[in-house]
Amino acid sequence: GAGVSQSPSNKVTEKGKDVELRCDPISGHTALYWYRQSLGQGLEFLIYFQGNSAPDKSGLPSDRFSAERTGGSVSTLTIQRTQQEDSAVYLCASSLGPRTDNSPLHFGNGTRLTVT
């Protein structure tokens, strides 16, 4: 199937280490989103990429978080100097068109990050 693929599915890391999470969107989808989902909580927006435009980084919680999208396809979310409060499921989603046209989001299965 050609769904959104995320890796790794689970990541356990020690406090203070850096982690990289990967998202491979559906081919042809121009928009890519990163969300964070804490246990029992809703989806917290992190960052949005659309084509070659500058990303909307307004949801990144601190400067320890960064993301890039290379060649308009694969994206990596990097968390530096991880803290215990970073523990959550990180969801990636892609959509065919930009968010302005209300294209449905297609989510990956997420990466469960645990910081010990």
Partner 1 sequence: GENVEQHPSTLSVQEGDSAVIKCTYSDSASNYFPWYKQELGKRPQLIIDIRSNVGEKKDQRIAVTLNKTAKHFSLHITETQPEDSAVYFCAARGSNYQLIWGAGTKLIIKP
* Interface ranges with partner 1 (CB under 8 A): 4, 40-45, 48, 56, 58-59, 91, 98-100, 102, 104-105, 107-110
- In the bound state with partner 1, the residue whose beta carbon lies nearer, of 82 and 90, is 90
Mapped onto helix, strand or coil, the DSSP state of residue 70 is helix
Q: Which one, 92 or 115, has the nearer CB to partner 1? A: 92
* 37/76 with CB nearer partner 1: 37
H or E stretch including 52? none
Instruction: Tell me the DSSP string of 20-75.
Output: EEEEEPPTT--EEEEEEE-TT--EEEEEEEETTSPPB-TT--STTEEEEEGGGS-E
Question: Shortest Cβ distance from residue 114 to partner 1 (Å)?
Answer: 16
Residue closer to partner 1, measured from CB, 91 or 113: 91
Q: Taking the complex as a whole, how short is the minimal distance between the CB of residue 58 and partner 1, in angstroms?
A: 8
Is there a contact between 75 and 22 (Cβ–Cβ < 8 Å)? Answer: yes
